[in-house]
A and B are shown apart, each in its own frame.
Chain A
Amino acid sequence: MEQTLTLTVNGRPHTVTTNPERPLLDVLREDLGLTGAKYGCGDRQCGACTVLLSGRPIFSCSTRVATAVGREIETIEGLADGDTLHPVQEAFVAEGVSQCGYCTPGMIMTAVSLLRRDPQPTEAKIRSEMQRNICRCGVYPRILRAVQRAAQAANGGQP
C-alpha cells in the first residue's frame, strides 16, 4: 500500500515512498526532517501544524500527504532568503513575540498567507484570520503588533 510520491516543498521536489494516507505533517517531519511545523492537536484546532498549500494555510496534521502531490507546499524553513528573514519573521523578532515558540512557525505561516492576500489588513481581519492558531503562552497582543509591523514595512513604513 506504499506509494512513491513527489512533493514540491519550498520550491524543491522531494520523492517519498510512503503510505499515502499519512498526514502531510508526519511526512514533512519524519521523512523530510522539516520539523518547523508542529503537532499540537491532530484535530484542525490549534494551527501548530500550519503550512501553506498552494498559498493557503492548511492544517497539515489533518491533510493526507497524497492530496499535496502536484501542489506547492511552503513551510517555515523556506521562508527566509538565506540569512535574510522574511518581513513577518523580522517583525516577530522585533516585537519579542515568542515565549516557548512552539506555535510560532504556524502563526508566521498563517500571517504570511494573510499578508499576501491582503497586504494592509485591519486589526479585525488579522484577528479573524489568525483565530485558527492557538498560543497557550498568550502572546496574541505581540503577534498582532508583529503582523501590523510587517504590513507597515511592506508599505514603506506607512501605517
Chain B
Amino acid sequence: MSATIQRKEPANIVPPEIDYDALLEPVQFHFALDRREFVQVLGAGLVVSVIVGPALAQRRRGGGGFRGGPPATLAARIHLGEDGAVTVLSGKVECGQGARTQIAMAAAEELRVPLERIHVVLADTGTTPDDGMTAGSRTTPSTIPSVRQAAAAVRKLLVDFAAERLRVPADSLDVRNGQVIRPGQPMPRILLGYELLVNDPAVREKLAAQTPADAELTPDADWQVLGKPQPAFAARDKVTGAHKCPSDINRPGMLYGAILRPPTYRGKLVSVDPAPVRAMPGVVVVQDGGFVGIAAPTSFAARQAIDALAKTAQWTTAPLPPSETLFEHLREHAEGLRESPLAAEVAAATKSLRQTYHVSYVQHAPLEPRVALAEWTDGKLTVWTGTQGPFRVKGELQSAFRLANDAVRVIVPDFGSGYGGKHTGECAVEAARLAKAAGKPVMLRWTREEEFTWAYFRPAGVIEMEASLDAENRITTWRHINIGSGGNSIETPYRVGRKDQRHIRSRPPLREGSYRALASTANSFARESFMDELAALAGVNPLEFRLAHLDEPRLRPVLEAAAEKFGWRERVANKRPNRGVGLACSWDKGSVVACCVEVEVVPNANNIRVLEVCEAFECGKIMNPDNLRSQIEGAIVMGLGPALSEEIRFDAERITNPNFRQYRVPRFRDTPRIETVLVDRPDLTSVGAGETPIIVIAPAIANAVFNASGQRIRQMPITLG
C-alpha cells in the first residue's frame, strides 16, 4: 500500500514529563472493618450484573500507573462480534473532552468501518486495558496511536484471511465499509467481513497475542474519518435525558449515603452519639474510627440523619493560615529558596525589572460532584463512579478494604466533567464502606459544599520574575521562580540570555491536586504579564517585543495568526477610551497557543468586562476539528473564572465560600465574543488539546486591563480596586 509518512516530532517543545499528581495529597482511609459485619455482607447474596461490554478474558499487565501500558493482547483492545459488530476497549474515560468519539474515529479509520458501527467501551477495570489516567492531554498522543495500531492489525488479519481464501496476493486487496474489496476488480463473490474472523482458530490465536507492530497505518492524506468534523457520540442521549451519568445509575435495593464532615477544615472527630439516628426507619449508621456515615432509603433521609448526627458530634480543630496571609505563608515555607545566581549580571545591566505575581486557590467545580455507587457481592466489590483514574481508584479500594486484584471492579460511566479534579477515589471508598455495612448497594453523591471543601484545589502560588535588558532591549538574564504552584510550562519559549527557572515546593495549607493544565496557567500568567512589563520598560509594543525574542518555529506563527485575526496592530493604533487590548502566548504538552483580548473597564465601578477573545491554537495534525474548536471555546470560557472571579477563600477555621453564590464561575453574561483560529500542521504528530487553550486567557486579560486602565494587576483573580 502507501509508504508511511515520516512525522516530525515537535521535539524542541515537548517538556519533560511532569507527573500531574506529584502535588496531590491522597486521602488515607484506615478502616477497622469489623469482621462480623463483613460476614453479614457476605451472606447478603447480591448479584452483580454486567452493565456494559462483552465479557472478555483479558489479562492486564502490571499496574499501569499514571501513563498506563500497552494492552496485553490485540483482543484486549478490539473485540469482534459474530454479528460484525466491532467494539474498541480503552481505559480512558469520557467526561466531555471527546475521547469516546476520537477513539471510535481512530478505530473506524483503520478498520475501514463506518463510524456508527463502532462501539466503544471505556474505563471498566473488568474489561478494558489500563491506558493510564485520563490526564495530561495523553489520549491523543498515546491512546489514539495504540488504538490505530491495533485496528490496523485487525484489518491486516482480515486482508490476509481473505487473500488466502481467494488465493490472491494480500496487496491486491483492501477493506471498504467493513468488507474486503479488490480495487479495480469486481467484488469477490462471497462477502468477506470482520465477522468471518471470529471463529477462525488461526485468527483467534493472533487476537490472543500481543498487537503486532507491522500493520501499516492509514496515511493522513487518505483519511476518511479522522481529520474531519465528526458528531460527538451520545449527543442525542444528552439532549433527551437518556444519557446516564454515574449519579444516574440505579441498582435494585439501592440506598443513598451521606458522610459526617468536620465543621472545620482541620477538624477531627472526638465523639458522636448515633442513638437518635438509629431510631430513624431504614437508616444505617456506620462508624469506623473517624469515618461516620449514613445509608438511608432516600438522599433526603440520609441528609436529615447526618444533620441529626452532627448535633451530637464533638470535634477538635487546628487553625489554618487564612487566605489573606496565604502568599506570605507560601513564601515563608518555601523549601530551598536561594539567592539569584544572576544577581551580578542583573546589577550590571542597562535596565532590569523584578516583579512578583500571585495566583489564588481555585476549584474545578465540575457540575456533577463526586459520586459513587458501590455494591458488594460475595466479597467482591463493584463501584460505578466518575473518576479520571479508574485503575487508580481500583487500587485505592483494594488498599482500603485489603482486597485482591480480582475482587474489585471500577466502572466509569461518561461523567459530568473533571478538568483534572477527579483523579482520586475518596468518594468511591466512602460509598464502598457504607455499602459494606448496609449490605445493600449505596449511592453516595457529594454535596456542592463537600466538593468545594473536601476535594482538592489547584495549587496557589507566588511567582517571582526578574530579567535584565541590554542597550538594544534584548533580554540578557531571565529568572522565573514558582513557589508552590508547580513547574508546568515554566520553560520560557523566548530567546533570553542566562536563565534560572525553578519550581520550589512550599507547605500548602489546603489539599492540592491537578487541574486543567495545572501550573501552566500560573507560569504563563506570570511570564506573559512580565513580558508586557518588560515591553513597557523597553518602550516597545507588546507584540513587537515578543516577536523580537521569539524564534520558536511553532509558537511564532501562532502568535502572528492570533494578532492578525484579531487586528492587533489596527486596534492598538485606534485605542478607545476605557477599552484595552492585551495578548499572551505560551506552550504546554507539545502544543502552542496565543490569544488576544479586548476588555472594557468601567471607571469607578472597578468592573472588568471581557468583550472579545481571539485565540489561535496548534496541536499538530488536527484529528477532529469541531471538537477541537469546542475544547478551545470551552477552555476560554472556563479560564475567565480563575482570571477574573474564582478564588477559594478561607479563614482560620474553614473555607468561607463553598458555594456558587460566593464562588463565582463564568455564566452566560460573562461570555465574550469568541473567535478561534485552528492552525493545522499535518507535518507534525497530533497532541492533546483539552488543556493548553486555557493557559493564556488570564495573562491576556491582565495585559488588556493595563492597556485600558494603566493599572497592572499581578494577581489572579484580576480585580481592580
Q: Is residue B630 contacting chain A, with contact meaning CB distance below 8 A?
A: yes
> Given B231, B256, B668, which contacts A96 in the complex, CB threshold below 8 Å?
B231
- Find out whether the CB atom of A38 lies under 8 angstroms from the CB atom of B448: no
| Cβ < 8 Å to A, chain B residues 229-274 | 231-232, 234-245, 247-248, 250, 256
A84 to B633, CA, bound (A): 29
- Find out whether the CB atom of B300 lies under 8 angstroms from the CB atom of A26: yes
Q: Is residue A23 contacting chain B, with contact meaning CB distance below 8 A?
A: yes
A89 to B241, CA, bound (A): 10
- How far apart are B497's CB and chain A's nearest CB, in angstroms? 39
- Find out whether the CB atom of A77 lies under 8 angstroms from the CB atom of B637: no
A114 to B44, CA, bound (A): 50
In the bound complex, residues from chain A placing their C-beta under 8 Å from that of B368 are 38, 40, 100, 102
In the bound complex, residues from chain B placing their C-beta under 8 Å from that of A105 are 239, 241
- Find out whether the CB atom of B661 lies under 8 angstroms from the CB atom of A45: yes
- Find out whether the CB atom of A99 lies under 8 angstroms from the CB atom of B630: yes
- Find out whether the CB atom of A100 lies under 8 angstroms from the CB atom of B241: no
A75 with B241: in contact, given A23-B300, A100-B95 (CB under 8 Å)?
Answer: yes
| Cβ < 8 Å to B, chain A residues 102-127 | 102-105, 108, 126-127
> How does the 8 Å CB contact mask read for B401-445 relative to A, with 1 for contact and 0 for none?
000000000000011110100000000000000000000000001
In the bound complex, residues from chain A placing their C-beta under 8 Å from that of B669 are 127-128, 131
In the bound complex, residues from chain B placing their C-beta under 8 Å from that of A96 are 231-232, 235, 626-627, 630
A103 to B364, CA, bound (A): 15
- Find out whether the CB atom of A138 lies under 8 angstroms from the CB atom of B448: no
In the bound complex, residues from chain A placing their C-beta under 8 Å from that of B301 are 19
Most buried by A among B239, B240, B364: B239
Q: Is residue A137 contacting chain B, with contact meaning CB distance below 8 A?
A: yes
- Find out whether the CB atom of A30 lies under 8 angstroms from the CB atom of B299: yes
- Find out whether the CB atom of B665 lies under 8 angstroms from the CB atom of A98: no
- Find out whether the CB atom of B235 lies under 8 angstroms from the CB atom of A93: yes
Q: Is residue A142 contacting chain B, with contact meaning CB distance below 8 A?
A: yes
In the bound complex, residues from chain B placing their C-beta under 8 Å from that of A66 are none
- Find out whether the CB atom of B660 lies under 8 angstroms from the CB atom of A43: yes
Interface size band for A? 35 or more
| B interface majority secondary structure | loop
A26 with B660: in contact, given A38-B247, A48-B367 (CB under 8 Å)?
Answer: no
- Find out whether the CB atom of B231 lies under 8 angstroms from the CB atom of A136: no
| A interface majority secondary structure | loop
* CB closest chain-A residue, reference B418: A100
* CB closest chain-B residue, reference A37: B241
* CB closest chain-A residue, reference B234: A101
> Given A89, A136, A141, which contacts B417 in the complex, CB threshold below 8 Å?
A136
> Given A23, A46, A89, A130, which contacts B367 in the complex, CB threshold below 8 Å?
A46
- Find out whether the CB atom of A138 lies under 8 angstroms from the CB atom of B367: no
In the bound complex, residues from chain A placing their C-beta under 8 Å from that of B369 are 39-40
Most buried by B among A34, A131, A137: A137
Pull 30 A–B residue pairs with CB atoms less than 8 Å apart, ordered by A. Answer: A19-B301, A30-B256, A30-B299, A35-B247, A45-B661, A46-B660, A75-B241, A77-B241, A85-B236, A98-B238, A99-B630, A99-B634, A100-B368, A100-B414, A100-B416, A101-B96, A101-B237, A101-B238, A101-B243, A101-B414, A102-B368, A108-B239, A135-B367, A135-B637, A136-B367, A136-B417, A136-B419, A138-B633, A141-B637, A144-B671
